[in-house]
Structure 1
């Protein structure tokens, strides 16, 4: 075990958060600060004495600041292994002083993209070169140098400096964070350069653990949740109350939140094992929630619920009387918070809308990457059968189609009056999915509509739906047996709508 005493620090940052306070404490601890450009000016304005990089290198900044720290007297001071006599001798022979601390954060490339409006040339200028070079050099030489890449690390590092130096474990941890930072930075640049190509030729994944979970899908599996450089809805959400989220909670929450955000009007999604056990829209969010729960109240026990409208006191009272694992809403009233506060194990989240970035799934040694599925434009749908759906049937067909798109294949959703009344999910056959949905719907299937996430390969699925009272059906169409399927619908007087778009979900 060794501790590196910090005598000289190189400081060059774009994000000036907490910089002056850090520098004041470093100087008070006897550390010489070497800095350049805007960083030096910021510190000078704060009354902190620094040594300019140009006075160390004997060279001025050139090319509009593109070259200022790319110099042997800077990188030699960072890369020298200060435990080796030959390296120290070379430093002395070349009049180079060693650094024990490098504090660098990068040009705000990701932030500039996120803000929008920047030209191609402006974004190119936001690609940092000297910063990553210094970070990587210091991280490589973590046996002799500590590297700081985020203001969030300042307190731990300066406290260590004040206590005598940087220990081995701290330096290794800082080095790992540094290499992650440059990897994430490069990943963002690659993603920008690859934009417009779908799917991208190259996709770099850079993630860091946001939390260690109690276990994975099962207790014998270890697990964590990881954030990317662009935080998702769950990472930006506010946890209002409740126990820590589990692996399965996160999976179900993702499914619930995406379905809820695709529903029109006030909508509720009740999810169990990543499938809807119920969903509904209504005039109020409490009515939608009650209707969604009623689809399959047995399966809804221990579910994850997502609402696309503010959680009010009526909806909160409904949840408070039942066992729910997770509740997600865009906002929560004070009265609703007070009602739910007594259910201390219930996880309650206020969340922003989900993004529509790539849908990425892991396979052995690689990734499957696809555009995220989107609900298709109703304007492209066609009435394939002889009968035009009624206005109420059209509304229910559109709703059922949305729910079916969020249900594992093979999927059949039976819906009535803006609510799912039967969901057949994950069945190996389409007629099996239809029978499962109808068994759940029971008498509620009379006068209902049905949605199928893919075409009916045979008329049997349509026939069992119609025999149970379904009056209108929506599917992509496209089967070799479409004529037989349409014949079954027409003979029964059922309306049939083809969307031309399939919504498999695996």
Structure 2
């Protein structure tokens, strides 16, 4: 039987060598449009698609391969006498190999000035149809969508005279993943274009970035996937300058650190352990901010992850070098800083584009058999209708401390309490089953430093016991959402101790 291959590719990487290899293996080449011209320009004999269909390419190339002479040639079962008779009746010659990749829709919509018209024109129709037909009939047809598979196919053709069923099935599976991902990107684009908030179905796609050594624990397998056209301000788009491969826990903790540090415009440093901040500091310089973060909890920061929102200079690098850290994330590192920090073999140094504005992505959380999706908690104090609930209003210094605490507490696992001053956290109580328990942890950690401090709570006080504990520790200002049926009890207790208490009307649960 004469062997035929159909080639139609937007990405022409390696296609000349591949086509030449197919000819050496006894294939005739059928091709379309720009691919046909490229092959002919390099001396490859090509049969035009119009010679196969008996019909010209029309509608500016929108219709080329959508024809029975093509899809019949691809979908026929080669060992089915009925199929063979129908092919013969209609003068259709079978196609044994299809090599197609698609219009660059993702690359097109990633351009800043892309128009809707350009995006629509880059939705491939014939390509996915050809790929799906070929992949469905993979028992008889080899289908290739990835240039990385060219060498495998050519090697099997050369050594065995054909491509194995195992390889054909693997290639077909890749095709269906590829077309599904392609359609998912288009679906997301069109859904946003149509301003649909809760479509009846949700299709998402991610690309493998890294196979991880293990997950949260060594007995758990794990992988790291990246969202196409996802936020630039992301660990998935970080550039690693130095150090070991990131682990599952590293990635989670690094993301938590980034989400906190992006709250700040002034120089800020965030230390994270187990996805909770253990120390946050702000200052006039990034060195001062880091020193505050370190001073906040010099024990827990050991082995932690640090995110800084300014370039790391020599002086800051020297201080960072003094303790064991897993990861340092920053917009950049000076040459001197890199020289100092890379002396530690395993320390990961990551850079992130802090200055690039991104749309806020929704948060996806998997559950057994399902998926939860919600907006990210980007609500800030400036968005809230702040109300001073007590007789005494906060002083200017207390307002600054309250604002700092409110920025941080929404990133702490609930129930959450943060004790801080104007420049740093003093105590963090995270993930407790009751609020007074979280307060006791935060206040105990703050110790004597709690005198004159502010306390932030992610949700309202159902009892006045948290206010009592805060007052006895020396806290002078509290910020909380309010909204409890017992708010008046907390207000009275605050007034009793001369505490200024502010209600925001907004809670910040983080589970």
Q: Same fold (TM over 0.5)?
A: yes
Post-superposition offset of 1:419: 0.9
Structure 1: where are the runs of 5+ without partners?
none
- Aligned residue for 1:213? 212
TM-score (norm 1): 0.91
Distance in 1 (CA, whole Å) between partners of 2:400 and 2:490 is 22
SS in 2 for 1:324: coil
**Equivalent runs, 1:265-276 vs 2, <5 Å:** 265-276=266-277
> Do 1:404 and 1:413's aligned partners in 2 also have CA atoms closer than 8 Å?
yes
- From 479, 486, 489, the equivalent of 1:481 is 486
> Do 1:400 and 1:415's aligned partners in 2 also have CA atoms closer than 8 Å?
yes
CA RMSD between the two structures: 2.6
Say yes or no: does 1:201 pair with 2:197: no
Distance in 2 (CA, whole Å) between partners of 1:386 and 1:151 is 71
Q: Which range moved further: 223-232 or 246-255?
A: 223-232
- Aligned residue for 2:254? 253
Distance change (3 Å), C-alpha of 1:178 and 1:460: same
> Do 1:240 and 1:349's aligned partners in 2 also have CA atoms closer than 8 Å?
yes
**Equivalent runs, 1:25-40 vs 2, <5 Å:** 25-27=21-23, 30-40=26-36
- Aligned residue for 2:346? 345
> Do 1:180 and 1:206's aligned partners in 2 also have CA atoms closer than 8 Å?
no
- Aligned residue for 2:133? 137
Post-superposition offset of 1:68: 1.3
**Equivalent runs, 1:294-443 vs 2, <5 Å:** 294-353=295-354, 356-378=360-382, 380-384=384-388, 385-443=390-448
Distance change (3 Å), C-alpha of 1:159 and 1:312: farther
- Aligned residue for 1:238? 239
> Do 2:329 and 2:352's aligned partners in 1 also have CA atoms closer than 8 Å?
yes
**Equivalent runs, 1:466-505 vs 2, <5 Å:** 466-505=471-510
SS in 2 for 1:166: coil
- Aligned residue for 2:225? 226
Distance change (3 Å), C-alpha of 1:221 and 1:297: same
Distance in 2 (CA, whole Å) between partners of 1:469 and 1:83 is 86
Distance in 1 (CA, whole Å) between partners of 2:383 and 2:459 is 19
Q: Which range moved further: 342-351 or 227-236?
A: 227-236
Distance in 2 (CA, whole Å) between partners of 1:363 and 1:401 is 29
Distance in 1 (CA, whole Å) between partners of 2:197 and 2:468 is 40
- Aligned residue for 1:452? 457
Distance change (3 Å), C-alpha of 1:379 and 1:187: closer
Distance in 2 (CA, whole Å) between partners of 1:448 and 1:156 is 66
Post-superposition offset of 1:488: 2.3
Distance change (3 Å), C-alpha of 1:377 and 1:153: farther
Structure 2: where are the runs of 5+ without partners?
none
Distance in 2 (CA, whole Å) between partners of 1:410 and 1:236 is 31
Post-superposition offset of 1:361: 0.6
> Do 2:381 and 2:406's aligned partners in 1 also have CA atoms closer than 8 Å?
no
Distance change (3 Å), C-alpha of 1:430 and 1:112: same
Distance change (3 Å), C-alpha of 1:130 and 1:341: same
Post-superposition offset of 1:183: 0.8
- Aligned residue for 1:149? 145
Post-superposition offset of 1:193: 3.2
Distance in 2 (CA, whole Å) between partners of 1:221 and 1:181 is 27
Distance in 2 (CA, whole Å) between partners of 1:143 and 1:314 is 64
TM-score (norm 2): 0.90
**How many equivalent residue pairs?**
502
Distance in 1 (CA, whole Å) between partners of 2:122 and 2:503 is 48
Distance change (3 Å), C-alpha of 1:37 and 1:318: same
> Do 2:380 and 2:407's aligned partners in 1 also have CA atoms closer than 8 Å?
no
- Aligned residue for 1:166? 163
Post-superposition offset of 1:335: 1.9
SS in 2 for 1:263: coil
Say yes or no: does 1:125 pair with 2:124: no
Distance change (3 Å), C-alpha of 1:437 and 1:63: same
Distance change (3 Å), C-alpha of 1:162 and 1:348: farther
> Do 2:311 and 2:331's aligned partners in 1 also have CA atoms closer than 8 Å?
yes
